[in-house]
Amino acid sequence: MHALAAIDAIDVPIFLLRSDGTVDHRNRAAAIRLPLAIPGASLMPCADDKARQFAAYLDRCMASNRAIPGALDIADSLGDIHGDTLGDDRPLVRFRCHGAVLRDEAQGAAQRVLLRLSEGDDRRFRALNDILGELRSELRRSKRFYDGLCAHAAARDQAEQERDVVLMRLYRANHDERLRLARDLHDNTGQHIAGLGLGLRQLERHVSTTEGHAQIDRLRGQLDHVSQELRRIAFALRPAALDDFGLTIAVRTLVEEWSETCGILTDFQSAGRKPPLASEVEITLFRVCQEALTNIVKHAPDATRVSVTVQYRETAISLTIEDNGPGCSEDTMTTARLLAVKKFGIVGMRERIAMIGGTFEVETSEGGGTTLYARIGSTELAA
């Protein structure tokens, strides 16, 4: 009982509890803080889970020789003295506490727990805890969302890379096939035509009639025609000038022939030393030039001046085609707009250049002419 008298003098709430949570004794501070927690009432909360935690805490205290720190939820207004419970809506307050077993030999070794509650462990603590909980779950949600976004972006990048690889393969296959066809036409069919010409000449020696000679002349004319047509097709597939003389001469020849055919004054310039170029780079730039000149005939036939420039620098090669025709609104040159109206020339140029890692730009304005720029960086140039 000395102990009980001593705890009365302490100014923090202290209870002496039985193992089932019933109050045996309390000090003055406890009576002030929890006035309804009088001896005989239970400190145990109603809610099952809270009551289990409370009971487990008391068990821990009973089993130890040291004071056990903890946190207990205790109803602010307690049930009546004889253990009747109030409804589950009693507000619970969380107290930090220390509980130590108190062995009382005089009462037949019945054990009590001396429970010291800490003030200040109140609603603010709970509110902070709630906020922390919300923040944690918000963080988890954000993390899940972020992970989802990352996975989505990675999948898209992967798909784009795969698409580029497939496009590149298709482009290469197409390019190689055209090369093969061009070579076949030149080496194989060209030889046959040359053989036919030779045969006609030999045949001519054995023909004595005027009618026979006229017939042979007609055949020779047809053969020349077939031969020219063959050269045209082979040129379209793979300009021989590219194989024989390289990009600069091939473009110069193209520009000169084009200028002569359509009667537009055209200036060709090349600057710098041409490095060894991959055949894809050569054919791509040649095709861009071809398409640009075709566009000028189609859309700017009144142009009076066209200039084509090929520039070789250490860091890049660039091709510029400029005309002083009517130009057009730059807004209409976006890929989406052009595809919507089924125009594929500019789009094709863009794609071809992109395919070999270069950049392509169109500068045009109504009444201000049109300039196309194609640029391939040095890393893509190697043969």
Ligand X SMILES: Nc1ncnc2c1ncn2[C@@H]1O[C@H](COP(=O)(O)OP(=O)(O)OP(=O)(O)O)[C@@H](O)[C@H]1O
Query: CB of residue 268 vs ligand X: minimum separation in angstroms?
Result: 17
Smaller CB separation from ligand X, 23 or 346? 346
Smaller CB separation from ligand X, 347 or 355? 347
Say how many CA atoms lie within 13 Å of 128 toward its Cβ: 7
Instruction: State which of residues 29, 264, 323, 375 lies at the interface with ligand X (CB under 6 A).
Output: 323
Residue 300 interacts, among Mg ion, ligand X, none and using kind-specific CB cut-offs from 5 to 8 Å, with: ligand X
Closest to 74 measured CA to CA, from 97, 92, 54: 92
Smaller CB separation from ligand X, 119 or 361? 361
Tell me the window of 149-157, 200-208, 309-317, 338-346 that interacts with ligand X (CB under 6 A): 338-346
Smaller CB separation from Mg ion, 220 or 343? 343
Query: CB of residue 295 vs Mg ion: minimum separation in angstroms?
Result: 4
Reduce the secondary structure of the chain to three states and give it as a string. CHHHHHHHCCCCCEEEECCCCEEEEECHHHHHHCCCCCCCCECCCCCHHHHHHHHHHHHHHHHCCCCEEEEEEEECCCCCCCCCCCCCCCCEEEEEEEEEEEECHHHCCCEEEEEEEECCCCHHHHHHHHHHHHHHHHHHHHHHHHHHHHHHHHHHHHHHHHHHHHHHHHHHHHHHHHHHHHHHHHHHHHHHHHHHHHHHHHHHHCCCCHHHHHHHHHHHHHHHHHHHHHHHHHHHHCCHHHHHHCHHHHHHHHHHHHHHHHCCCEEEEEECCCCCCCHHHHHHHHHHHHHHHHHHHHHCCCCCCEEEEEEECCCEEEEEEEECCCCCCHHHHCHHHHHHCCCCHHHHHHHHHHHCCCEEEEEECCCCCEEEEEEEEHHHHCC
* Residue 346 contacts ligand X per CB under 6 A: yes
Strand partners, 376: 317
Query: CB of residue 191 vs ligand X: minimum separation in angstroms?
Result: 35
* Residue 299 contacts ligand X per CB under 6 A: yes
Query: CB of residue 287 vs ligand X: minimum separation in angstroms?
Result: 12
* Residue 338 contacts ligand X per CB under 6 A: yes
* Residue 234 contacts ligand X per CB under 6 A: no
Residue 338 interacts, among ligand X, Mg ion, none and using kind-specific CB cut-offs from 5 to 8 Å, with: ligand X
And the tokens for 159? 């798909």
Smaller CB separation from Mg ion, 27 or 295? 295
Span between the terminal Cα atoms of the chain, in Å: 102
Instruction: State which of residues 61, 325, 360, 381 lies at the interface with ligand X (CB under 6 A).
Output: 325
Q: Return residues touching Mg ion (CB under 5 A).
A: 295, 345
Instruction: State which of residues 97, 300, 317, 381 lies at the interface with ligand X (CB under 6 A).
Output: 300
Instruction: State which of residues 96, 175, 274, 343 lies at the interface with ligand X (CB under 6 A).
Output: 343
Smaller CB separation from ligand X, 124 or 298? 298
Residue 344 interacts, among ligand X, Mg ion, none and using kind-specific CB cut-offs from 5 to 8 Å, with: ligand X
And the tokens for 260? 């002569």
* Residue 344 contacts ligand X per CB under 6 A: yes
Task: Tell which positions 262-291 bind ligand X, by CB under 6 A.
Answer: none
Query: CB of residue 236 vs Mg ion: minimum separation in angstroms?
Result: 15
Task: Give the binding-site size for ligand X (rule: CB under 6 A).
Answer: 17
* Residue 178 contacts ligand X per CB under 6 A: no
- Kindly list the distances between the CA atom of residue 123 and the CA atoms of 14, 93, 94, 130, 135, in Å, as whole numbers in the listed order: 20, 7, 7, 10, 18
* Residue 345 contacts ligand X per CB under 6 A: yes
Smaller CB separation from ligand X, 280 or 323? 323
Query: CB of residue 291 vs Mg ion: minimum separation in angstroms?
Result: 6
Give the interface with ligand X as residue ranges (CB under 6 A). 295-296, 298-300, 323, 325-328, 338, 343-347, 370
